[in-house]
């Protein structure tokens, strides 16, 4: 083990350089203009997997972006098999002007690497690949059998991965699935994640008159779609922060007294949280604390809203259309398709009769809670404790990784969510970064994980 740690330490500079190459590729999965870059990124992952000594490295086309697969299966039939999953695609970069440095020109400042994808998820994927390389370069073998699956559509809901899992279930069969795409509770407070929220992502368009109108000539008699959209959105939640869609909470599993006691044990400082975000106070559902509200309770958020004139200055116009993108974070046992239907029915019910609305379901994913007593989770807890010098907490998180539940259901394999990110590292926003000491300790923790799994 100390061999491994020394080896990793001697490679810090090289690893950082290689990670920056990975981060330079603008693999934005949602942007059709970046399709070529996304493919180039998959090819980069393929080349790197070959480089570090993985075998049977393949790129699988899908209806969308390709999946990369690799393996190293020489630990013997009795050794467990781990499937590592991550994603090489990233979120869009806008608003671009808020970045200190361009998002695809990675820069290092104050011990952090800044770039789109630094922590979500290229940095963490790379950390995992380096942990495999460290074993292969120091011992010429891995302690367990390892399969690697790195996809390019996580940020758009992993729309084609379910079919890939079903068709290739044999190839992907594993005893444990390892994912590094979550955050630790806080810096120097290591944790493992055992729950993620699901998601139903909707878009709605309100249509009024057949064209944009002069707001003085027509305003007053013709319904304004932007006003109508705002009133629909305002009605989706009440004064207690509850979502008003009928049946929305029907399948929500209540938090048990034990779970709430566990939440209360976590070292959380509400005032510091508000200060870091520069908000006067927290918001949300009455009767729950901030950690519960951001991980174990469902939510509804507008992600974007547009219509009419949004340029500088003033233009008097009554727009013909207005739209919004709305996501709902779901918790066990809510079902995204069921929630999407309830959303649509409710929006139609509350929309003013003077406009028409169109609602589309863009994508969804089921919430997941993973077993906390699996061999994998126990091994990860020990590995994190050694690498970070502290006993990790077990936490649930508010983000979503749509494929987690399907790993459990299709491959029948327990999932370990061992992430090294921090929720303050601006994932999905300008100046995304990854703290390098956590990146390096993450390589050590992951390398140890494979050894701990044999104990």
Residues that bind ligand BES in the complex, under the rule CB under 6 A: 120-121, 154-155, 157, 181-183, 196, 199, 365, 397, 399-402, 427
User: In this complex, which beta carbon is closest to ligand BES, that of residue 28 or of residue 318?
Assistant: 28
DSSP letter string, 334-380: --HHHHHHHHHHHHHHHS-TTSEEEEEEEEEE--EE--SSSHHHHHH
Per-residue tokens: 290: 């901030």
Q: Which burial class, exposed, middle or buried, applies to 87 when counting CB atoms under 10 A from its CB (0-12, 13-18, 19+)?
A: buried
Residue 175 interacts with which of ligand BES, Mn ion, none, CB < 5 to 8 Å by class: none
According to DSSP H, which parts of 11-80 are helical? 12-23, 35-51
Active site members: 89, 154
Shortest distance (Å) from residue 151 CB to ligand BES: 11
User: In this complex, which beta carbon is closest to ligand BES, that of residue 5 or of residue 177?
Assistant: 177
CB 202 within 8 A of CB 362: yes
- The residue nearest ligand BES at its CB is 399
Shortest distance (Å) from residue 303 CB to Mn ion: 13
Query: Which of 71, 89, 120, 451: binder of Mn ion (CB under 5 A)?
Result: 120
Stretch that binds Mn ion, among 46-54, 164-172, 174-182, 186-194 (CB under 5 A): 174-182
- Under the binding rule (CB under 5 A), the answer on residue 425 touching Mn ion is no
The 3-state DSSP composition of the chain as helix, strand, coil percent (nearest 5) reads: 35, 25, 40
Shortest distance (Å) from residue 86 CB to ligand BES: 9
User: In this complex, which beta carbon is closest to ligand BES, that of residue 227 or of residue 395?
Assistant: 395
The whole-angstrom separation of Cα 263 and Cα 428 is 26
- Under the binding rule (CB under 5 A), the answer on residue 432 touching Mn ion is no
Residue 399 interacts with which of ligand BES, Mn ion, none, CB < 5 to 8 Å by class: ligand BES
User: In this complex, which beta carbon is closest to ligand BES, that of residue 129 or of residue 357?
Assistant: 129
Query: Which of 133, 151, 181, 425: binder of Mn ion (CB under 5 A)?
Result: 181
Residue 328 interacts with which of ligand BES, Mn ion, none, CB < 5 to 8 Å by class: none
Shortest distance (Å) from residue 415 CB to ligand BES: 12
Give the residue among 428, 426, 408 at the shortest CA–CA distance from 83: 408
Q: What are residue 429's phi and psi, to 5 degrees? A: -125, 175
Q: Which burial class, exposed, middle or buried, applies to 233 when counting CB atoms under 10 A from its CB (0-12, 13-18, 19+)?
A: middle
User: In this complex, which beta carbon is closest to ligand BES, that of residue 70 or of residue 420?
Assistant: 420
The whole-angstrom separation of Cα 324 and Cα 307 is 9
Strand partners, 363: 201
Q: Which chain residues interact with Mn ion by CB under 5 A? A: 120-121, 181
């Amino acid at each position: 083990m100390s061999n491994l740690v020394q080896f990793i330490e001697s490679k810090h500079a090289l690893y950082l350089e290689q990670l920056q190459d990975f981060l330079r590729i603008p693999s934005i999965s949602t942007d059709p203009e970046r399709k070529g870059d996304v493919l180039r990124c998959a090819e980069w992952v393929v080349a790197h997997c070959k480089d570090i000594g993985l075998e049977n490295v393949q790129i699988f086309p899908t209806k969308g972006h390709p999946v990369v697969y690799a393996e190293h299966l020489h630990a013997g039939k009795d050794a467990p098999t781990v499937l590592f999953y991550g994603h090489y695609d990233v979120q869009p970069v806008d608003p671009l002007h808020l970045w200190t440095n361009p998002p695809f020109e990675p820069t290092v400042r104050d011990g952090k690497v800044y770039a789109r994808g630094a922590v979500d998820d290229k940095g963490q994927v790379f950390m995992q690949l380096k942990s495999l390389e460290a074993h292969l370069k120091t011992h010429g073998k891995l302690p367990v059998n390892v399969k690697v699956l790195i996809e390019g559509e996580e940020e758009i809901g992993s729309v084609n991965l379910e079919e890939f899992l079903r068709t290739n279930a044999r190839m992907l069969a594993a005893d444990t699935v390892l994912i590094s795409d979550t955050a630790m509770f806080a810096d120097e407070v290591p944790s493992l994640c055992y729950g993620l929220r699901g998601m139903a992502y909707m878009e709605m368009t309100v249509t009024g008159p057949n064209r944009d109108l002069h707001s003085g000539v027509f305003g007053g008699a013709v319904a304004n779609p932007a006003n109508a959209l705002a009133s629909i959105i305002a009605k989706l939640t009440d004064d207690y922060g509850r979502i008003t869609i009928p049946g929305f909470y029907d399948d929500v599993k209540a938090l048990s007294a034990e779970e709430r006691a566990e939440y209360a044990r976590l070292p959380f400082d509400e005032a510091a949280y508000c200060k870091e975000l520069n908000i006067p106070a927290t918001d949300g559902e009455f009767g729950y604390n901030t950690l519960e509200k951001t991980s174990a309770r469902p939510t509804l958020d507008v992600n974007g809203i547009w219509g009419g004139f949004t340029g500088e200055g003033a233009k008097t116009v009554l727009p013909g259309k207005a739209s919004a993108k709305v996501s709902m974070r779901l918790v066990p046992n809510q079902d995204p398709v069921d929630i999407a239907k309830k959303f649509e029915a409710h929006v139609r019910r509350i929309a003013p009769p003077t406009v028409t609305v169109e609602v589309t379901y863009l994508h969804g994913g089921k919430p997941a809670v993973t077993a906390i007593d699996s061999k994998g989770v126990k091994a990860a807890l020990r590995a994190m404790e050694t690498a970070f010098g502290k006993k990790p907490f077990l936490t649930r998180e508010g983000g979503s990784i749509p494929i987690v539940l399907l790993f459990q259901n299709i491959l029948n394999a327990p999932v370990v969510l061992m992430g090294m990110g921090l929720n303050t590292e601006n994932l999905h926003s300008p100046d995304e970064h990854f703290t390098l000491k956590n990146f390096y300790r993450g390589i050590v923790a992951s390398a140890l994980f494979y050894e701990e799994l044999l104990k």
